[in-house]
Amino acid sequence: MSRSRIPEFYKFSVTNRLRVLYEREVLSEAEYHMLMDGKHLLDAAKADRLVENVIGAFSLPMGLGLNFLVNGKDYLVPMVVEEPSIIAAVSSAAKVMRSAGGIRVDADEPMLIGQIQVMDVAHPTRVRQALLARSEEILNLANSLHPKMVSRGGGARDVEVHLHSAQGARGDMLVVHLIVDTRDAMGANLVNTMCEGVAPLVEKITNGKVFLRILSNLTDRAMVRARVEVPVAQLGNGTFSGEQVRDGIALATEFAAADPYRAATHNKGIMNGIDAVAIATGNDWRAIEAAAHAYAARDGHYTSLTKWYANEAGNLVGELDLPLKVGTVGGQVQSNQAVMIAHRLLGVESARELAGVMAAVGLAQNYAALRALSTDGIQRGHMTLHARSVAIAAGAEESQFDAVVEKLIASGDIKVWKAREILDGMTEPAGATTGEGEPTAAFTADSVEAGAGYAKIILLGEHSVVYGKHAIAAPIPLTIRADVQRQESGTTLFIPRWGVETELHPPTATDNALHKSMDLILQRLGVRDEPMRVEVYPHVPRAVGLGASAALAVAVIRGVAEAFDIELDDARVNELAYECEQIAHGTPSGIDNTLATYGRPILFRKGELPGSAPAIREVHPARPIPVVIGLSGVRTLTAQTVGRVRAAWQAHPERYEPIFDQIDQLALAGVDALAQGDIATLGELMNIDQGLLNALQVSCWEVEELVQIARENGALGAKLTGGGGGGAVIAVAEADRTEGIAIAMRRAGYDTFITEIR
């Protein structure tokens, strides 16, 4: 099991996140309880022993950067930071880099420079030679002051002498550099002691006057280099191609390299990640900042610390070089329980390893910021996260939180007073969930609010249904709702949970599928020129095989029809939603839009001729069928998996037609199993279907892990649902086993919920 790969971790409650870490043995039992109740961490009494004039202990959020693969090793990265979006962004970037083989780092031996300033020197050049000639004597004296450091393999290594031209009445200045290997200690006090200790000897040799004796925070003898190469195919999204993302990041780097005003913000983004790890691990983030920015200006021009470019293969390459002197031992680590827990979470064995991980975090943080800036812009995500902070400040409870955030963003006034106003007007929503995320009531289609589109699962028949075979689908208690209001000018689409806010206009070839689908709906309903605001509230995760695009289309169609008093029957809604699915998926079967429209368990078969109506038959289970749904955390586009299967089928129809026929027979047998309430048979059919879907190469290791977990914990059957390539897994079991299956999935880091087919 991957240490740093915990899918959907951000969706867990704090309690469940800690439980996952404890169950994976990342946290000890004592550490688990410390973080759960906050006791035994830094309190005022302990703080009073660390600094002066203490009046309390100040708290900051500590989160985990996920998905990091550095030099082939998994890392959970503790980060202490108050700014929203940093941890989420770096985890997302690390996931991309992980799929590309991870980040490679190389760190120098941890050398620190101590400086001894010498004034009033009569013959600086001659004195310089004298100091170098007696460097062994200086080193021996310095090392005698810290024999334990020497015994650990560290100590003073070299002496350098630098001459600075006269700036005042006292003539030229000599500066002696004492180069010290501090091993795993940060080493500031150690180096300062050595400088103090050798100062009298330096004065004797130079016949001058020693003035300042102190370490330098420009730690360019402790350099770290991080590098990543991301294939261009992994950079694109639904709006921008991989080449566009790559070239945008490279162009943004050129800006930072040339312009110090841009470089300051560019490098601040890098340090957002590095500082957060430094604080969590008890390191001096101020010294780290000073070194980084001094190094960025080493040639007399302040510039970018990173370089992003396209290599000969067309892939995106990112490189970060910076001085990074950190420690893993010493008072700051051992005097603060939270810091000790952070080190255990991170699992590094040396200061060099820690420096390498921190550089990897800085590179990933920089990638995330540049990608956002060069594509959709960074403000959209920041505003959503700012709204979350405001909702907390206003006192929103967990059951109200998402709704308050959505309404805040929709209002445009992301202020505490507005959040409180929203809270005052709210009542407890129906269909609240338990602390574990499961609906408290089983779903029936009649319980879903009018004007919504339904999410779905496919029990049997994925992919073969595209080729005219049967499939069984059923609704689940997740919907998408659209609220459409007329306005004076312009047409705006707003989906706060997905970070979408855009003006709708006649689409061009470069517009994404969502924009084109919305335009199609307005055109077909005859309101393309009518100004309106379309606000969408999705409770269906995207790109996980649960029919989000179809549910969105149905919700918007019904919302627009209601706003403009357009009479539409379900058949017309379904027909128009299918046209939207064609834009989103190319050659859809029609099952998603049908289920999104009608919200009933059905046996579905695509029309035999182009344009002909599908054959749809309601399925009536003899008893409720308990279902556990596990989300793999891997998003996928149905159009891509359908396209890959189609290409394979076209190349070798004789191999794939028999697989489609077998899946068809499983679906027909599934109808009988549902009619008899025979969960055991239904489960067996699903298990066989999963094997056939794997043969179609539409599974992935996360899906297979979820399937295995489900079966090992009492599921009678488990398989992927939807297009595959990631997405969701469904498992059927007797009702007394569903909770155990869901808990096992959550222990492995996957988000789940439990429902029923009726």
Which of the residues are catalytic? Answer: 83, 268, 284, 382
Total Cβ atoms within 10 A of residue 25: 9
**Long-range contact pairs involving 329-333 (C-beta distance under 8 Å, separation at least 24):** 329/184, 329/185, 330/185, 330/186, 330/282, 332/186, 332/282, 332/283, 333/281, 333/282
HEC string for 123-177: CHHHHHHHHHHCHHHHHHHHHHCCHHHHHCCCEEEEEEEEEECCCCCCCCEEEEE
Backbone φ and ψ of 370, nearest 5°: -70, -35
Interatomic CA distance for residues 600 and 578, integer angstroms: 17
Encoded tokens for 554: 């149905």
User: How far apart (Å, rounded) are the C-alpha atoms in residues 309 and 292?
Assistant: 21
Residue with tokens 């649902």: 721
Q: Tell me if 729 sits within 8 A of 720, measured CB to CB.
A: yes
- The answer to whether the CB of 747 falls within 8 A of the CB of 20 is yes
Sign of CA dihedral 580, 581, 587, 593: negative
C-beta of residue 628 within 8 angstroms of C-beta of residue 745: yes
Give helix then strand counts, H and E, for the chain: 26, 21
Q: Please, which residues bridge with residue 502 across strands?
A: 493
Closest to 555 measured CA to CA, from 449, 450, 500, 481? 481
Give the CA count within 13 Å in the CB-facing half-sphere of 353: 15
Are 80 and 62 in contact, with CB atoms under 8 Å apart?
yes
Q: How far apart are CA 332 and CA 328, in angstroms?
A: 9
Q: Which helix (H) or strand (E) holds 616?
A: strand 615-618
d(CA 655, CA 672): 28
Phi, psi of 289 (to 5 degrees): -60, -45
Structure tokens at 689: 């279907």
Query: Please, how many CA atoms are within 13 Å of residue 619, restricted to the half-sphere of its CB?
Result: 34
> What are residue 575's phi and psi, to 5 degrees?
-65, -45
Q: How far apart are CA 743 and CA 719, in angstroms?
A: 18
Question: How distant, in Å, are the alpha carbons of 139, 161, 248 from that of 133?
Answer: 12, 11, 54
**Phi, psi at residue 185, to the nearest 5°?**
-90, 150
User: Distance between CA atoms of 593 and 602, rounded to whole angstroms?
Assistant: 12
Return the amino acid letter for 612.
Answer: S
d(CA 584, CA 606): 18
Q: Nearest CA to 311 among 231, 426, 421?
A: 231
Dihedral of CA atoms 455, 458, 462, 466 in degrees, nearest 10, equals -60
Task: Give residues with Cβ within 8 angstroms of 402, minimum separation 6.
Answer: 497
Query: Residue by residue, what is the 3-state secondary structure of 267-330?
Result: HHHHHHHHHHHHHHCCCCHHHHHHHHHHHHCCCCCCCCCEEEEECCCCCEEEEEEEECCCCCEC
Long-range contacts of 250-256 (CB under 8 A, 24+ apart): 250/308, 250/309, 250/310, 250/316, 251/374, 252/308, 252/370, 252/373, 252/374, 253/304, 253/306, 253/307, 253/308, 253/309, 253/370, 256/303, 256/304, 256/306
